A and B are shown apart, each in its own frame.
Chain A
Amino acid sequence: MADQRRDLEKRPAPEALLAAARREESRIGKLKIFVGAAPGVGKTYEMLQQARARRKDGYDIVIGVVETHGRKETEALLEGLDVIPRWRLEYKGQWLEEMDLDAIIARRPQIVLVDELAHTNVPGSRHPKRYLDVEELLNHGIDVYTTVNIQHIESLNDVVAQITRVRVRETLPDSVFDRADAIELVDLTPDDLIQRLKDGKVYVPEQAERALEHYFSPTNLTALRELALRRTAERVDEQLLAELQTHAIAGPWAAGERVLVCISEDPRAAGLVRYAKRLSDRLHAVFTALYIETRRSLRLTEEQRDRIADTLRLAETLGGEAITIPGGDRSIADDVIDYARANNITQVIIGKTSRSRWFEILNGSVVHELVRRSGNISVHVIAGDDIVGEPIPKKTVRTAEEALQFDPRPYAIALVAVAAGLGAGEAIQPWFGFENVNLVFLTAIVGVAVRCGLWPSIFASVAASLCYNFFFLPPIYTFTITDPTNVAAFFFFIVIAIVVSNVAARVRTQAIVAMGRARATESLYAFSRKLAGVGALDDVLWATAYQTALMLKVRVVLLLPENGTIAVKAGYPPEDILDNADLAAAKWAWENNRTAGRGSDTLPGAKRLFLPMRTGRGAIGVVGIDRDKPGPLLTPDERRLLDALIDQGALAIERVHLVEDMGRVKRTVETDRLRSALLTSISHDLKTPLAAVLGSASTLRDLTGKLSEVEKTDLLATIIDESERLNRFIANLLDMTKLESGAIVPNMSAHDLAEIVGSALRRANKILAQHHVKLELTKELPMIELDAVLFEQVLFNILDNATKYAAAGTAIRIRSWRDTDTVCLEILDEGEGIPPADLERIFDKFYRVQKRDQVLAGTGLGLGISRGFVEAMNGTITAANRTDGTGAAFTIRLPVPVNPQQLDTAA
């Protein structure tokens, strides 16, 4: 067992190999970060020097953006390197310069230098952060050299702020730092750095000069240097670990450590998440941020909810997993322990409560309970950080706050209820005494609590207690109470009133929440059922757009890929065209499978917010939403609902795609089957007459002396007949090919039906030799618009068909008549008729009715061609069985021209 396990561990970890392969194969650029402990250590200088060295090796290197801050040594290094000019954009009346991302991508260098990775771009740029620009460069296969100071690293943000008392606002997600292919620490001892500062070699913005002295104190610098060294070492460690895993070298890595951090709406939760990141890094473990949604969650303000969402998102930015689970009816500690056990969590991090002793006695302490019940799971209780400033990073997508308006109506109801209680009390007092009147008031309070919620019922409680005191407790009409017993009764009345209010109101909240959730679930369920019912892509798209618009009260557009880009496919209200900014955002969201547009990190200037619609197979489209209301688009609840709706829609779209794919495969199979049947049929039909011709001709040549004259004539007749049959077949094949390729353009003009019947009969003279034709044509039929050549062929084919299926010596009738606005032509034979099931199929290509006795086989094309031709001439052709005896009846109907030309033939 142990051996086996070692074997397994020696094998390269598949994930590690995969990651390495992915990096090598997809030509994603390599990222090299030059890390420094503080400004002025010489990161830019070092980066430029290395760039020059690489250039000597023949690499194509350009400068995307480098801040020299006027240092001469640094500027000297720029010489000879290609600098991509920055682009200028106006922001609040100022002209600002930013790195020209598109120009670099178009230039396609091997390596680009991008200084100051944590830089925040001017609003209006494509990405709000420079590291997002860098990501795009890497995705285009361009290597990037960049610099960053340790203070900008997200997970160290708190620590640095604690050390230096300066909170850095420009932060860099750890995931960016961790994805770097190489990290180089540019190190300088604090003393040297301070010396450089004194020499004026360190660039310091003027406004920061005051803070300077404190920031560049030896203590701070030492601490920052240690941080930088440690973070780099950790990173290098990880790299080593990855290397070891890739090459299956047994290492000392700890297996199975998992960190769970419990978060709440507390602003300090962000600190917990950062702590979890550091802890999990040290343990080489993964971490999960957990939020448990309880009844209390529903009473949170929008600001608090936003904070929770942001904290969860912070965990994701730091490379962790973010999970929200609904709490059961038990304590939070139970839920946390259950989750931890189910997911093999080894370390749980929870914040130290700042709640009062009273609160803990009443509600129990989650922390205490957690510690008590954790068993073999380590519990870290962290104080969080008390640093003022901005503990939470900016949101990925800003969400709106719901304006809470004061509604006076519940309070009015409360007053009415109390007044009613007062009236009732006055009414029953003579019989029951004032001691029992408080029960009447309690009833009113419970009613208010159930109907209007907590605050109106507390308001009612206060009002009721005042009334009770004023109107019923002696001395009445004063707020004083003389009897001590009554004081006690009054006190208990107030306590009971408030407790009852609380309980009843909670029940009400739960009911409302449950109802709300049920309604949302029901809508979603109805939506999914609706989606399941529709088969066409357009319907699915429309339903998704409509449902989203309806449930979130937003405008929705749906975009799907089309010819290498994406295009609007549906919208509610209907929308066809997006402006350029929106289109760019939608495209970016599609290409990068990430959120873009209004309120997001990328192209926030767009009017809409675009979210990719994902399924297990990847992104399949983009949904764009907007709303007239300015500011953030969605509340966190709405965002969650939107996610659910989009997921449903995405699945439905995928289903349609899959069904289409299946249909296509089926059609291909069908076509292949038909094609092979066709080939068999064609080769048979071509070869049979040819064999007869060849056989007869060779017999004539080889045995000419031994054949009687009759035999010779017979053979010659066979040659001629079979050649003619072959000729007819080839003609049919050509006609069918023309029909199928759409090359049939009828040359329509007015004709006399009888004339064409006559010429068709003349042409079919030979094949009709064994049958006699009875013509019953109505005289004085109007001239009909048709193509004479095609129509003659139609008649010929039907006559040909009749001669094959009706025995020799029988009659073929041709009738014509006018039926209001059509002219009908009917050809009736005296054969066996057509099996009813075949009445439509006989017009199919290569379909032949099974014949009992052996008759000359037809091509199976004639009737198909006839139908094709007749339809090309705006007519119809149908087959039926004769009612006046056996035999088939083919009826051709052609429309009578609207204004049949009256010709003056008297001249």
Chain B
Amino acid sequence: MTAAALKILIIDDEPPIRKLLRMGLTTQGYQILEAPNGKTALELLSQRPDLIILDLGLPDIQGHELLRTIRARNESVPIVVLSSRGDEAGKVQALDLGADDYLTKPFGLDELLARMRAALRHQLQVHGERPIFKAGDLSVDLVRRVVKVRDNEVKLSPKEYDLLRVLVQHAGKVLTHKLLLGELWDELVDTQYLRVYVRQLRQKIETDPERPQYILTETGVGYRLRSPD
């Protein structure tokens, strides 16, 4: 698996951004494909990239449209979307359309690498789920359904546990309210329920629930569980 370098397709119309990403990612051992517009991007899909970085503001095709087309052709390739602050609705829409994560411009390379790792890890996890999740003082044993903070077992209600399980399964990745609600409730319920459970869960697993370290709020979008160590 590691024999060949992972292929990353960068879709962005700004040459400086492409250059920056190319330089930054090449140093990390990735192989780079570049597309300045949607048309080229679709052509390059045939080279089967391992991850796609997509800027939502493209000159020829609407970013969301391109995202839909890519998903239609390739079910599983991880996609990280680049968008601007204030466009929370656009982010949510991109995530709902199948993007794996998003980054708000401007961003640092470290952030991008973290997002990419999370997206790629999730891709791998689909094949083999890790039984025990560990991040800081928090450990979650998905097989035995045991949650521990600083080695003390924490009692969770079934719903709280389900919430944590979904978060753990996608650790490091943002999960939209809609996705979480769909995973946890059969019928349609208000986001408020989710907020209440997140609060309760934080009370139980966070050291300082007012400044959470594990379950992070992505304001206007959803929640993200800290990546495992």
Name A's B-contacting residues (CB within 8 A).
720, 723, 727, 731, 734-735, 738, 747, 749-752, 754-759, 761-762, 775, 777, 783, 788-789, 792, 901, 903, 905-907
Instruction: Decide: A759 and B217 in contact? CB cutoff 8 A.
Output: yes
Q: Which of B88, B195, B216 contacts A752 (CB 8 A)?
A: B195
6 other A-B residue contacts (CB within 8 Å) besides A750-B190, A750-B192, A758-B212: A720-B108, A735-B86, A755-B195, A777-B210, A905-B193, A907-B158
**Chain B stretch 186-229: residues in CB contact (< 8 A) with chain A:** 190-193, 195-200, 209-212, 216-220
Q: Which of B86, B89, B210, B212 has the most CB of A within 10 A?
A: B210
A774 to chain B, nearest CB (A): 11
Q: Which of B199, B210, B218 contacts A775 (CB 8 A)?
A: B210
Q: Which of A720, A756, A905 contacts B200 (CB 8 A)?
A: A905
A219 to chain B, nearest CB (A): 99
Q: Does B16 make an interface contact (CB < 8 A)?
A: no
- Assuming the A-B contacts A758-B211, A775-B210, A792-B219, are A727 and B106 also in contact, with contact meaning beta carbons closer than 8 angstroms in the complex? yes
Closest B residue to A755 using CB positions: B217
A43 to chain B, nearest CB (A): 79
Query: Measured between alpha carbons, how far is A272 from B198 in the docked complex, in Å?
Result: 103
9 tightest Cβ-Cβ pairs between the two chains A and B: A789-B220, A759-B217, A792-B219, A750-B192, A788-B219, A775-B210, A759-B219, A903-B196, A905-B196
Query: Measured between alpha carbons, how far is A757 from B86 in the docked complex, in Å?
Result: 18
Q: Does B159 make an interface contact (CB < 8 A)?
A: yes
B110 to chain A, nearest CB (A): 11
List 16 contacting pairs A-B, 8 Å CB cutoff, sorted by A: A738-B86, A747-B220, A750-B190, A750-B192, A750-B195, A752-B195, A754-B210, A755-B199, A756-B219, A758-B210, A759-B216, A762-B216, A775-B211, A788-B219, A905-B200, A907-B157
- Assuming the A-B contacts A758-B217, A783-B192, A903-B193, are A734 and B211 also in contact, with contact meaning beta carbons closer than 8 angstroms in the complex? no
Query: Measured between alpha carbons, how far is A808 from B42 in the docked complex, in Å?
Result: 52
Query: Measured between alpha carbons, how far is A723 from B198 in the docked complex, in Å?
Result: 34
A500 to chain B, nearest CB (A): 98
Instruction: Decide: B191 and A749 in contact? CB cutoff 8 A.
Output: yes
Contacts of A750 in B (CB 8 A): 190, 192, 195
Instruction: Decide: B199 and A907 in contact? CB cutoff 8 A.
Output: no
Contacts of A757 in B (CB 8 A): 210
Per-position 1/0 for B103-118, Cβ under 8 A of A? 0001010000000000
Contacts of B158 in A (CB 8 A): 907
Closest A residue to B159 using CB positions: A907
Q: Which of B88, B158, B211, B219 has the most CB of A within 10 A?
A: B219
B226 to chain A, nearest CB (A): 12
Query: Measured between alpha carbons, how far is A896 from B85 in the docked complex, in Å?
Result: 28
Contacts of B88 in A (CB 8 A): 789
Instruction: Decide: B85 and A731 in contact? CB cutoff 8 A.
Output: yes
Instruction: Decide: A788 and B220 in contact? CB cutoff 8 A.
Output: yes
A900 to chain B, nearest CB (A): 10
A895 to chain B, nearest CB (A): 17
Query: Measured between alpha carbons, how far is A752 from B190 in the docked complex, in Å?
Result: 14
Query: Measured between alpha carbons, how far is A750 from B216 in the docked complex, in Å?
Result: 18
Contacts of B159 in A (CB 8 A): 905, 907
Query: Measured between alpha carbons, how far is A738 from B84 in the docked complex, in Å?
Result: 15
A695 to chain B, nearest CB (A): 19
Closest A residue to B212 using CB positions: A758
A169 to chain B, nearest CB (A): 81
Contacts of B157 in A (CB 8 A): 906-907
Contacts of A775 in B (CB 8 A): 210-211
B89 to chain A, nearest CB (A): 8
Q: Which of A731, A749, A751, A789 has the most CB of B within 10 A?
A: A789
Contacts of B85 in A (CB 8 A): 731
A646 to chain B, nearest CB (A): 57
Contacts of B190 in A (CB 8 A): 749-750, 901
Contacts of B193 in A (CB 8 A): 903, 905
Instruction: Decide: A723 and B211 in contact? CB cutoff 8 A.
Output: no
A757 to chain B, nearest CB (A): 7
Query: Measured between alpha carbons, how far is A755 from B86 in the docked complex, in Å?
Result: 19
A734 to chain B, nearest CB (A): 7
Instruction: Decide: A903 and B216 in contact? CB cutoff 8 A.
Output: no
Closest B residue to A904 using CB positions: B193
- Assuming the A-B contacts A754-B210, A758-B211, A907-B159, are A789 and B219 also in contact, with contact meaning beta carbons closer than 8 angstroms in the complex? yes
Contacts of B209 in A (CB 8 A): 754
Closest A residue to B209 using CB positions: A754
Query: Measured between alpha carbons, how far is A99 from B94 in the docked complex, in Å?
Result: 73
A783 to chain B, nearest CB (A): 6
Instruction: Decide: B196 and A762 in contact? CB cutoff 8 A.
Output: no
Instruction: Decide: B217 and A723 in contact? CB cutoff 8 A.
Output: no
Contacts of A792 in B (CB 8 A): 219
Contacts of A752 in B (CB 8 A): 195-196, 199
Closest B residue to A727 using CB positions: B106
B107 to chain A, nearest CB (A): 10
Contacts of B218 in A (CB 8 A): 759
Query: Measured between alpha carbons, how far is A750 from B196 in the docked complex, in Å?
Result: 10
A882 to chain B, nearest CB (A): 22
B156 to chain A, nearest CB (A): 12
Instruction: Decide: B211 and A905 in contact? CB cutoff 8 A.
Output: no
B134 to chain A, nearest CB (A): 22
B102 to chain A, nearest CB (A): 14
Contacts of A738 in B (CB 8 A): 86
Query: Measured between alpha carbons, how far is A901 from B209 in the docked complex, in Å?
Result: 22
Contacts of A734 in B (CB 8 A): 86
Query: Measured between alpha carbons, how far is A761 from B198 in the docked complex, in Å?
Result: 18
**Chain B stretch 140-185: residues in CB contact (< 8 A) with chain A:** 157-159
Query: Measured between alpha carbons, how far is A536 from B220 in the docked complex, in Å?
Result: 46
- Assuming the A-B contacts A731-B85, A789-B88, A907-B159, are A783 and B195 also in contact, with contact meaning beta carbons closer than 8 angstroms in the complex? yes
Closest B residue to A731 using CB positions: B85
Contacts of A761 in B (CB 8 A): 211
Query: Measured between alpha carbons, how far is A906 from B218 in the docked complex, in Å?
Result: 26
Query: Measured between alpha carbons, how far is A903 from B199 in the docked complex, in Å?
Result: 13
Instruction: Decide: B106 and A762 in contact? CB cutoff 8 A.
Output: no
Contacts of A759 in B (CB 8 A): 216-219
Instruction: Decide: B192 and A749 in contact? CB cutoff 8 A.
Output: yes
Query: Measured between alpha carbons, how far is A789 from B87 in the docked complex, in Å?
Result: 10
Query: Measured between alpha carbons, how far is A156 from B219 in the docked complex, in Å?
Result: 94
Closest A residue to B192 using CB positions: A750
Query: Measured between alpha carbons, how far is A731 from B84 in the docked complex, in Å?
Result: 10
Closest B residue to A723 using CB positions: B106
Closest A residue to B200 using CB positions: A905
Contacts of B210 in A (CB 8 A): 754, 757-758, 775, 777
Contacts of B108 in A (CB 8 A): 720
Contacts of B196 in A (CB 8 A): 752, 903, 905
Q: Which of A727, A747, A751, A905 has the most CB of B within 10 A?
A: A905
B208 to chain A, nearest CB (A): 8
B192 to chain A, nearest CB (A): 5
Query: Measured between alpha carbons, how far is A735 from B212 in the docked complex, in Å?
Result: 27
Query: Measured between alpha carbons, how far is A788 from B220 in the docked complex, in Å?
Result: 6
Query: Measured between alpha carbons, how far is A901 from B220 in the docked complex, in Å?
Result: 20
Contacts of A905 in B (CB 8 A): 159, 193, 196-197, 200
Closest A residue to B193 using CB positions: A903
Query: Measured between alpha carbons, how far is A285 from B209 in the docked complex, in Å?
Result: 101
Contacts of B191 in A (CB 8 A): 749
A754 to chain B, nearest CB (A): 5
- Assuming the A-B contacts A754-B210, A755-B198, A907-B159, are A901 and B216 also in contact, with contact meaning beta carbons closer than 8 angstroms in the complex? no
Q: Which of A752, A757, A783, A906 has the most CB of B within 10 A?
A: A752
Closest B residue to A724 using CB positions: B106
Closest B residue to A773 using CB positions: B211
Closest B residue to A765 using CB positions: B211
Closest A residue to B199 using CB positions: A752
A639 to chain B, nearest CB (A): 67
Contacts of B212 in A (CB 8 A): 758
Instruction: Decide: B195 and A901 in contact? CB cutoff 8 A.
Output: no
Query: Measured between alpha carbons, how far is A755 from B223 in the docked complex, in Å?
Result: 11
A816 to chain B, nearest CB (A): 10
Query: Measured between alpha carbons, how far is A665 from B153 in the docked complex, in Å?
Result: 73
Contacts of B198 in A (CB 8 A): 755
